[in-house]
Amino acid sequence: MSDKKECKVELILEDEKHEFTMGYEGETITEVAQKHGIDVPFSCQSGVCRTCLAVVKEGEVEMSENFVLEDDEIENGYILSCQGHPKTPNITIDFDDV
């Protein structure tokens, strides 16, 4: 058994719910979603373009980089999924509610 922490992710995209688990470090939410065959929106993968914008409905997510979101957007739960890493055991990310 691995001693690495894992997070249960619920991702909402185009009115469909997807679930997967991922580590707290390493790959981003976008990268892991793609590995699970989920066609999440993205472009630059550098935290610059906002294409991967989503809102956290449950849990906490930390971004490695952020060049476009304002402080009030972050306070309201908006994230760039291409830079997002879970910080709690369960997160719900909604791409439809942005």
Tens digit of pLDDT for each residue in 12-23? 999 999 999 999
Beta strands 53-58 and 6-13: pairing type?
Answer: unpaired
Give the model's confidence band at 33: pLDDT under 50 very low, under 70 low, under 90 confident, else very high: very high
Domain count within the chain: 1
Question: Is 44 a member of any domain?
Answer: yes
Give the model's confidence band at 5: pLDDT under 50 very low, under 70 low, under 90 confident, else very high: confident
For residue 1, the model assigns a pLDDT of: 43
Question: Is 43 a member of any domain?
Answer: yes
Question: Is 1 a member of any domain?
Answer: no
Nearest by Cα to 6 from 29, 25, 23: 23
CATH number of the domain at 60, please.
3.10.20.30
Residues 49-96 have pLDDT tens digits of 999 999 999 999 999 999 999 999 999 999 999 999 999 999 999 999
Question: Distance (Å, rounded) from C-alpha 94 to C-alpha 98?
Answer: 8
Three-class secondary structure of residue 89 per DSSP: coil
Q: Which two tokens stand for residue 5?
A: 């922490």
Nearest by Cα to 77 from 51, 54, 95, 46: 54
Question: Is 29 a member of any domain?
Answer: yes
The one-character DSSP state at 85 is E
Question: Distance (Å, rounded) from C-alpha 26 to C-alpha 77?
Answer: 21
Domain that holds residue 50: 6-94
